[in-house]
Amino acid sequence: MADTLREIERKYEARGDAGGTARLPDLSGVATVATVTDQGTAELDAVYYDTADLRLAAAGITLRRRTGGSDPGWHVKLPVAPGVRDEFHAPLSNGLPRSLAALVRSRTRDVPLAPLIRIASRRDVRHLLDKRGTLLAEAGTDAVTATLLTGDGASTAWTEVEVELAQDGDPALLDALEPHLRKAGLRPSDAPSKLARALAETGVRAPARSVKQPGGKASAGDHLLAFLREQAEAVAALDPGARRGTEDAVHQMRVATRRLRSAFRTHRKLLDRRITDPVGEELKWLATELGVDRDREVLTERLRERLDEIPRPLVRGPVRARLRTWSHGSRTGSRRHLTAVLDSKRYLTLLDTLDALLADPPLRAAAAGPPRPAFAKAVLADYARLAGRVEHALATEPGQARDIALHEARKAAKRARYAAEAATPALGGPAKRFAKQMKAVQTLLGDHQDSVMARGALLTIAAQAEEAGESAFTFGVLYGREEQQAAQDERELPALWEKASDRRWREGLGA
């Protein structure tokens, strides 16, 4: 796997810069900077790669092969926030390393990469040190020349100042330095990266991929498409983190697929379901595959927390070791499985299908109408569906049948919540408050379902312990506690539902 760094930097150029006046002022004594040391000059030569339709540039991603400086090699930079990127390094080689190719696969898919532009920089490097000599940041003045490797071979040149925090550096330092840089005649660069500026100044326009909320006269279809684009972008953007095991990436990616599928089902009056239903089935497949690892992680964490809660005398035998054995045994190959899914033709085709659907959306005539009535009706329809399932569950005798009914109600609560969240840009505060109520119901029902799943797992683990000649007593204690938790959730549901189903929440939506 490639080496990873978190890059936090700011770029500056001279006011009215005509290509060579930007200079780094002396920053000694500013904030926590005690001294500034001259690290000499580095010659950097990088070739940037992209698809013919500039998919990486559209997503704010840079892929380059660079020589010179302290870190020659292949680099991929993924945007995290303005001025913040995760940078992945791999050693120099003739071809793009597989580890880096995987990080951009959700964007490139099966489309080949080719050299796009060459950027050469002559960098005067300064290190900003505190009084103990610890590196706080690196600042440099870059004389940049960029030349297109396609088309007419246009070129451009400029000078910029770049200040990059040391790893684990304090972002407040950048705020403290900025007034001094501005006083020296510098201003923040309009371009987020050298690549973005080079493309703009050589006349290359990358397609916009940012998701913007519709304006005041937008139709119901405009609002719905903005939500769908946001979720589709989330799937592609979270792909690298899911591949690398970044915390919560798989979960958030799964949520985005569910939001997409839920929106297709909720807004069947706005979308042609002959087109969206097959896509929804593929999203269901992806969510299921993403959940193979995630569900087991959540369940294992729940059982560990429950084990921590019981008195020590009730812990009999190698309980934690048995729990680890069960957890690891059930997850054998799960990371490889996830990678195989994300590299599969089926997944990459789904991403292409989503792009095509959003480029030419299958909107029905009702989508041209105003957003408020369309979204309000959709949210209330999902609420009515949820109400029927909750009432059925509450009328069912405790036991397996009620567990199943409550699980179905949980899925309906999630759909109602997603519908309200998607409606918030159109309906404002009432939809946001309604979503909060639906989330509370979903959370309670989710805890109940987790308890059901935990009891099933505990029966399996207890049987494994007995087969190994170990005591299963503690797993019985945990099972009993999960039964109590489920019963408590069931007792709390009627009052919570009464609050969540208060007519005032629906009246705010226009009921």
> Rounded to a whole number, what is the distance in angstroms from the first to the last CA of the chain?
54
Q: What is the mean pLDDT of the chain?
A: 92
Residue 81's DSSP bridge partners are 84
Rounding to the nearest 10 degrees, give the CA dihedral for residues 50, 54, 60, 61.
Answer: -20
pLDDT bracket for residue 18 (50, 70, 90): very low
Give the Cα-Cα-Cα angle 240, 244, 250 (nearest 5 degrees). Answer: 70
List the one residue out of 234, 192, 210, 189 whose CA is nearest residue 58: 210
Q: Cβ(138)–Cβ(22) under 8 Å?
A: no
pTM of the predicted model as reported, rounded to 2 decimal places: 0.88
Say yes or no to pLDDT of 20 above 60: no
- Count of CB atoms situated within 10 Å of the CB of 117: 26
Mean pLDDT of 146-153: 93
Q: Cβ(238)–Cβ(264) under 8 Å?
A: no
pLDDT bracket for residue 331 (50, 70, 90): low
Burial 277-301 (b: 16+ CB within 10 A, else e): eebbebbeebbebbbbbbebebbbe
Residue 137 DSSP label = E
Q: What is the pLDDT of residue 422?
A: 95
Amino acid at 494: P
127 is written with which tokens? 């290190």
Say yes or no to pLDDT of 308 above 80: yes
Longest dimension (CA), the chain: 80
In whole angstroms, give the CA distance from residue 500 to residue 381: 15
- Listed in order, strand segments (DSSP E) in 336-393 are none
- HSE-CB for 257 with a 13 A CA cutoff: 25
Ranking 213-222, 439-448, 471-480 by mean pLDDT, the lowest is 213-222
CA distance readout (Å), 501 to 263, 377, 406: 22, 16, 16
Q: What is the set of domains in the chain, with CATH numbers?
A: 3-201 (2.40.320.10), 220-509 (1.40.20.10)
- Orientation angle between helical segments 400-427 and 249-266, nearest 10 degrees: 80
Nearby residues of 240 by Cβ (< 8 Å), 6 or more positions away: 78, 102, 103, 104, 106, 246
Say yes or no to pLDDT of 69 above 90: no
Structure confidence by residue, pLDDT tens digits, 214-269? 766 889 999 999 999 999 999 999 999 999 988 789 999 999 999 999 999 999 99
